């Protein structure tokens, strides 16, 4: 019997929510520290713990059958993988720091900027 291989982040923002999702789905496994893979005890599934940047390539190369990865990584890697479902967890936020001497007027403030001035100590 062949087994399904699911790639998830070995550390980082997505790992905890991915593990929680898999356990809430009924998968029984133990993932020890620094473990690169884990066998699911109640189903023919193997979990692969990878760097998030590697997950799209592992899926494209069919080393993994599916992967849980941030949509930003999936888009950046431009692999021939199909987005099946947005899981809506572990969202991130983009923050912009500007000098106190500048007045931020909205996104248009960034228009035409090719680089930002260096950050100076406060």
CATH number assigned to the domain comprising residue 106: 3.40.190.10
User: Tokens 């090719």 correspond to what residue?
Assistant: 114
β-strand 66-67 against 4-9: which pairing, if any? Answer: parallel
pLDDT band at 9 (very low <50, low <70, confident <90, very high): very high
Residue 109 belongs to a domain: yes
If you average pLDDT over every residue of the chain, what do you get?
Answer: 83
Q: 107 lies in a domain?
A: yes
In a domain, 22, yes or no: yes
**Whole-model pTM?**
0.70
Q: Is the pLDDT of residue 113 over 80?
A: no
* Beta-carbon contacts of residue 41 (< 8 Å; ≥ 6 apart): 28, 29
CA angle 53, 54, 59 (to 5 degrees): 125
Q: Which domain holds residue 110?
A: 1-116
Please count the structural domains in the chain. Answer: 1
pLDDT of residue 50 exceeding 90, the answer is yes
């Amino acid at each position: 019997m062949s087994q399904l291989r699911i790639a998830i982040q070995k550390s980082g923002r997505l790992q905890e929510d991915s593990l929680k999702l898999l356990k809430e789905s009924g998968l029984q496994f133990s993932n020890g520290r620094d473990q690169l893979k884990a066998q699911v005890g109640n189903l023919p599934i193997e979990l692969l713990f990878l760097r998030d940047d590697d997950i799209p390539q592992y899926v494209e190369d069919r080393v993994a059958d599916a992967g849980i990865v941030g949509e930003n990584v999936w888009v950046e890697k431009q692999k021939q993988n199909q987005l099946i479902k947005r899981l809506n967890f572990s969202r991130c936020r983009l923050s912009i720091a500007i000098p106190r001497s500048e007045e931020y007027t909205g996104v248009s403030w960034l228009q035409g900027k090719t680089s930002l001035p260096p950050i100076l100590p406060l």
